[in-house]
Structure 1
Amino acid sequence: MTSNNTLPAQPGRPVRTGLPDRHLPAPAAKAAVQAADRAHVFHSWSAQGLIDPLPVAGAEGSYFWDYDGNRFLDFSSQLVNTNIGHQHPKVVAAIQEQAARMCTLAPGFAVDVRAEAARLIAGRTPGDLDKVFFTNGGAEAVEHAVRMARVHTGRPKVMSAYRSYHGATAAAINLTGDPRRWASDTASAGVVRFWGPHLYRSHFHAATEAEECERALAHLEETVLFEGPQSVAAIVLETIVGTAGVLVPPPGYLAGVRDICDRHGIVFVLDEVMSGFGRTGTWFAADLFDVTPDLLTFAKGVNSGYVPLGGVAISAAVAATFDRRPYPGGLTYSGHPLACASAVATINAMAEEGIVENAARIGETVLGPGLRALAERHPSVGEVRGTGVFWALDLVRDRETREPLVPYNATGADNQPMADFAAACKRQGLWPFVNMNRTHAVPPCTVTEAEAKEGLAALDEALHVADAHTAAGARTAAGGGAASDGGAPAAGRVL
């Protein structure tokens, strides 16, 4: 595939196929944005002197573009949050209309768009999760879910899985299971971690999904017993683990966790910040497993991040705790009118335009089959997993041993294979979501069949770069045969 997303200037008026005229190359604007960014913006998760953020000029639908006329297919949905794509006209109009009518009001008042947003969310959450506490984002939602669980039960401990991400605020980062926790881990936040199910890299020596489920539940139950059930307030799980690898739990696992929580009086919290609002081809990932938690956290897709918004959907039992007892928490911008107006417009647009159904169809007919076909052609792909528009490729050096393409939490030269792969994607006009040894295919829920196929073609080209770092690639470079390890990977347990 030869990318036509980088389009050179022509004599006279430049022509940039696929880009609106208002976003033709603008070198002076680019330089101004870069200078201001470098002088004043402090970026997340970064060594400030080692990064060079891309100046973005505009975005629409499944694409965004820079000031040089380079257009990128957004296969990351930014941070897996622009579920309805960029600049959806109905949501933009709703924000403008609300801003003209009433920009803000304190959370203690009853406001029409706040009540309507809560009603629409409650109407789509599973079971009796009919009350909604609004936050500014996903991390705050997790913070408040933990607080509610602790107050409701009177217990201090909270349990979470190692392969997880729950946010970067104090309680949320302590719950998180990936290395981003390490620098902020106080080791005193009352968090106990356990291994969740992940058959491809099983910690339970399982050979089947049924074995993985049974052994993971036994491990969790034993951990609860050894910690003292009477001290555990909540078990917090991503319904489908997101950043840590799009890990779809085996059938029966979440129902088993629900049973453990019920038997020990533990609050079951599902984190749907990334998996909610159409990402999995259903309104919530919990719908795929027929399970209802006591608390459900959301953000991201609730309004595609157009205005910061998150929240906690609360069961009747937990909500009743605070009928006569004040809830000890609040936020100045809880249920901000602009954010809630954008959520109302987003949810209505998703329902009217069949966006959730589109995500399910694209996953079943295009992304799933297409990614599995890539795995057959590329020895660097160890496993394909996902659903809807929520997929990951686990990239490996060797299919037989399942050795990851880069070491766990690799940096610098150790991470070069993944850095090279990401750069190859961008050369193809694809903006990837890359984490450790994985690349995720997470376009907007509005992605078209043609756009999804465009993304798959770009991945196909970029994966040749990853293939060069595999055992098969090394054999090819040495004249030992074709770079293909066709067939399913053999059992192996390199973690």
Structure 2
Amino acid sequence: MDLDELVFHPWVAQGPRQVPTFVRGSGSHVVDTDGRHYLDFSSQLVFANLGHQHPRIVEAIKAQADRLCTLAPSHASDIRGEAARLIVDVAPEGLGHVLFTTSGTEAIEHAVRMARLSTGRPKVLAAYRSYHGSTTTSIHLTGDPRRWASDTGAAGVVHFFGPFTYRSAFGSRTPEEECERALDHLEQVILLEGPSTIAALVLESVTGSSGVIVPPPGYLRGVRDLCTRHGIVYIADEVLVGFGRTGAWFAVDHDGTAPDLLAFAKGVNSGYVPLGGVLVGERIYGAFTEKPYPAGLTYSGNPLACAAAVGAISAMHDEGTVAAAARLGTAILGPGLAKLAAKHPSVGDVRGIGALWTLELVRDRATKEPLVPTGATGLANAPMAAFMKACRHRDLLTLVLGNRVHVAPPLNIDDADAATGLSVLDEALTESDEFAD
């Protein structure tokens, strides 16, 4: 019996799957039951920022397991406090407290709850082309097709268009135009919805799995100004892009701004033990100094998860991981992917920052028609299926969503492995080229 058949798998139709079973990992590689090595060019779901089996994280977990494996959140914990200190030390200015969760989607849920309770307002703004999680509030906030099957239209969420020069909703020709027009549009949405009804604006600082869209310079500062002007809580979703992924500790750092709340997870401890959280600024913290925050989680700040965070963040400081991620983008991934785009007609756009990039595949570069339609399955998804098969045949793990190939290796991948990954993508793109005009 295939034990994998006993598992109910998220995001896919249930039934037999043709996927390898992994049993070991090291650095940028994982190994299946047959001893076959695969290069992890996606950091799993963009969370293994320090790769697999990093010794500092593994040892931190082992040492904590020998002392205390679990503790209710109502008790004080030395390792929980140390994790919070390390996180606050690298956080944007003014975010001085941490609510720990076990995932990014929980972090978003609690950030929104904090905003609504502290403002007394019901509505929350979120962008199209976004992903914020799969629980009730977070899936309603999500602005891509993953929301559709669960959307009741009753969660108090209003969506708006963020900047995206390649597929501009505003007819912009330059990033500067796109920034200005996107901010004008956002202000109109705020005014027409009624600022006094809006508790929060939730925004991925760099759009992650919905397209790897890097906002133009000044956009995040403009969002910060609009939120301040109208008394709206600015929630930065850095679940995917925080802790070095973009070549800065947090993606808001690139625009020199700070939100009121910041949701994180994934890279905080490379996903070795589930951990997420909300960085809380003084405005929100002050609302709950005299009255209790009416929510919590059984495993908030689990000692093993916090130990993993201490090990990971300490290693990132000592190993210069954030600078390495910035170099990876400017010296290797960016130029390498640009060469692939010049060579392969199916590549319509390359965009990214640090160690987070995407190739958007199209049938026609002039019309920008996606290589596969939204929500494609079966024969309609044949071009992307052929591409994924070609990658796996060459022992490369990629993250493919819709018509996009996301490139997000561990931040500490060595140059040789990065070059191997790009070479495999080069070969696999010949499959998608067969479907391009």
1:459 corresponds to 2:425: yes
1:437 corresponds to 2:403: yes
Is this contact kept in 2: 1:362–1:448, CA < 8 A? no
1:64 corresponds to 2:38: no
SS of the residue corresponding to residue 47 of structure 1 reads coil
Offset of residue 57 of structure 1: 2.1
Offset of residue 317 of structure 1: 1.1
TM-score computed with the length of structure 1 as normaliser: 0.87
Structure-to-structure mapping, 1:355-394, within 5 angstroms: 355-394=321-360
1:281 corresponds to 2:253: no
Per-residue displacement from partner, 1:107-162 (whole Å, max 9, x unpaired)? 01110000000000001110110100000010000000000000111100001011
SS of the residue corresponding to residue 259 of structure 1 reads helix
Higher mean displacement: 337-346 or 41-50: 41-50
Name the CA distance, whole Å, in 2 between partners of 1:291 and 1:428.
42
Name the CA distance, whole Å, in 2 between partners of 1:119 and 1:90.
18
1:106 corresponds to 2:72: yes
Offset of residue 357 of structure 1: 1.3
Match of 1:141 among 99, 107, 114: 107
User: How high is the sequence identity, in percent, across the aligned residues?
Assistant: 59
Name the CA distance, whole Å, in 2 between partners of 1:112 and 1:124.
19
Offset of residue 291 of structure 1: 1.0
State the partner residue of 1:265: 231
Match of 2:4 among 21, 30, 37: 37
Match of 1:72, as an amino acid? Y
Structure-to-structure mapping, 1:47-126, within 5 angstroms: 47-49=13-15, 51-126=17-92
Match of 1:37, as an amino acid? D
Figure out how many residues of one structure are paired with residues of the other and give that number. Answer: 437
Match of 2:264 among 281, 298, 310: 298
Match of 1:337, as an amino acid? P
Name the CA distance, whole Å, in 2 between partners of 1:411 and 1:251.
37
SS of the residue corresponding to residue 269 of structure 1 reads strand
State the partner residue of 1:329: 295
Is this contact kept in 2: 1:160–1:235, CA < 8 A? yes
Offset of residue 164 of structure 1: 0.5
SS of the residue corresponding to residue 372 of structure 1 reads helix
Name the CA distance, whole Å, in 2 between partners of 1:368 and 1:465.
22
Name the CA distance, whole Å, in 2 between partners of 1:36 and 1:470.
39
Offset of residue 52 of structure 1: 3.5
Name the CA distance, whole Å, in 2 between partners of 1:214 and 1:409.
31
Match of 2:134, as an amino acid? A
Name the CA distance, whole Å, in 1 between partners of 2:329 and 2:168.
25
Structure-to-structure mapping, 1:95-494, within 5 angstroms: 95-471=61-437
Name the CA distance, whole Å, in 2 between partners of 1:184 and 1:396.
28
Offset of residue 59 of structure 1: 1.0
Is this contact kept in 2: 1:298–1:310, CA < 8 A? yes
Name the CA distance, whole Å, in 2 between partners of 1:243 and 1:323.
36
Name the CA distance, whole Å, in 1 between partners of 2:71 and 2:395.
42
Offset of residue 53 of structure 1: 3.8
Name the CA distance, whole Å, in 2 between partners of 1:52 and 1:166.
29
Match of 2:224, as an amino acid? R
SS of the residue corresponding to residue 326 of structure 1 reads coil
Provide runs of 4+ in structure 1 moved above 2 Å.
50-54
Offset of residue 50 of structure 1: 5.4
Higher RCO (C-alpha under 8 Å, 6+ residues apart):
2
SS of the residue corresponding to residue 95 of structure 1 reads helix
Name the CA distance, whole Å, in 2 between partners of 1:53 and 1:158.
39
TM-score computed with the length of structure 2 as normaliser: 0.99
SS of the residue corresponding to residue 123 of structure 1 reads helix
Match of 1:156, as an amino acid? P
Gaps of 5+ in 1: 1-31, 472-495
Offset of residue 69 of structure 1: 2.8
Q: RMSD across aligned C-alpha pairs, in angstroms?
A: 0.9
Per-residue displacement from partner, 1:186-221 (whole Å, max 9, x unpaired)? 211100001111010011011111111111111111
Match of 1:411, as an amino acid? T
Match of 1:262, as an amino acid? T
Match of 2:125, as an amino acid? M
Match of 2:216, as an amino acid? P
Name the CA distance, whole Å, in 2 between partners of 1:372 and 1:75.
17
Is this contact kept in 2: 1:380–1:467, CA < 8 A? yes
